[in-house]
Amino acid sequence: MEISRRRFLGLVAAGAAVAASAPLLKGTLPATASERPKARYALVIDTTKCTGCGACIEACRLRNHLPEGISYIYRIVKGNNREPWFLMIQCQHCANPPCATVCPTNATYRREDGVVLIDERLCVGCKYCMQACPYQARVYDEERGVADKCWLCLPWVLGGGLPACVEACIPGARFFGRADDPNSEVSQLIASGRAQPLHPEFGTDPSILFYVIEAE
């Protein structure tokens, strides 16, 4: 079939217009099953059970082969001396991650399933993401000169396992599961309204980590 140049250019233009409008249409059309992300993970930390023992911190350090004293999780002591309680902070895997916005090289990105990862081959080590993260969840890898953080032990999770912090938690304060499965423990905790994201006023919309915090 012969296509005249004018017709060919017209087809190209029409194709470009459709391609350009596709992202606009995507939001309005109902998502088909194949478009839906395969899983939505959730990690709930019950601060009323957490004793602040730091087993999660150490387990995280060992699994990720981090040097002594460095971990993707750190502890904040809240309350008073008589009745302290503990906030274990790690990457909140925000739906609207400020670290990814400010990253000049696009090294930080968010997966379909909500997990925020760093592509270490792209990171230049400017540390801008460490400034922009309101949870201070990032650590700097001095050896390789790149930013590093919790990756939800993704290879273990994809293989059916658990993040190291959840496996190691002695008082059983950490619950991990799929938020897209309404029968899972984490879904029920989130549905009950007891588990809330940390500091929603930051506008980061943490989509994976939730905390159960009783009023002081």
Partner 1 sequence: MQTTWGWLPAIYLFLGGLGAGALMVAAIFEFFGERYQSDFCPTALVGATVPGPLVILGTILLIFDLGAGLREPWRIFYMFTHFSSVMTWGVWLLTFFIPVSLVYGFLEVLDTFPAARDWLRGRRWLHWTKFLWNLPLRRTKRVFAGIGLGLAIGVAIYTGILLSAVGPAIPFWSTPAFPGLHIPLMPFLFLASAFSTGESLTVDLMATLFVDGRIPRGRRVHLIHLAVITAEALLISHLLIHAFGEGGAAAEAARQIALGQHSLVFWVFVILLAIIFPFVGHLYAAGLGRHLKPSGISSGISILFSGLFLRYLILVGGIHAFL
Residue 53 found at the interface with partner 1 (CB under 8 A): no
Residue 156 found at the interface with partner 1 (CB under 8 A): no
x/- letters, 105..134, toward partner 1 (CB under 8 A): xxx------------x-xxxxxxx-xxxxx
Name, in order, each residue with C-beta under 8 angstroms of 123's C-beta and a sequence gap of 6 or more.
103, 105, 107, 146, 147
State in angstroms the smallest separation of the CB of 120 from partner 1.
Answer: 8
Comparing CA positions, the residue from 179, 144, 165 lying closest to residue 64 is 165
Residue 42 found at the interface with partner 1 (CB under 8 A): no
Element spanning 99, H or E: helix 98-102
Single residue of 84, 104, 161, 171 touching partner 1 by CB under 8 A: 104
State the virtual CA torsion across 43, 86, 96, 202 in degrees, nearest 10: 150
Residue 94 found at the interface with partner 1 (CB under 8 A): no
Task: Report the C-alpha gap between 61 and 64 in whole angstroms.
Answer: 5
Question: Which residue, 120 or 167, is less far from partner 1 as judged by CB?
Answer: 120
Question: Which residue, 128 or 156, is less far from partner 1 as judged by CB?
Answer: 128
State in angstroms the smallest separation of the CB of 32 from partner 1.
Answer: 29
Task: Report the C-alpha gap between 16 and 206 in whole angstroms.
Answer: 35
β-sheet bridge partners, residue 44: 175, 210
What are the residues binding partner 1 (CB under 8 A)? 76, 87, 89, 98, 101-107, 120, 122-128, 130-136, 140-142, 144-146, 198-199, 201-203
